[in-house]
Structure 1
Amino acid sequence: EHGGGNRCQTEKCNKGAQGKNENKVFACTEHGGGVKTTLIKRLNEASAAGASTKRSIDEVEGDVEEAPAAKKAVVEETVGFEKLRVAELRAECTKRGLDTKGVKAALVKKLRDWVEEEEEEEAMERARSLGS
Structure 2
Amino acid sequence: MVMSTWRRGREMVTVRRRALEGPLDDVVCTVQARRVHRVPGVAVLPHAAKETAPLALRANIEHNRLVHEQVVIISGRTEPVPHIPWSRRLTVEYVGDHRKGYCTSMSHSDFRTRWTFLKFCGGP
TM-score range (shorter-chain normalised) is 0.3 to 0.5
Name the structure with the higher strand share: 2
TM normalised by structure 1 equals: 0.33
TM normalised by structure 2 equals: 0.35
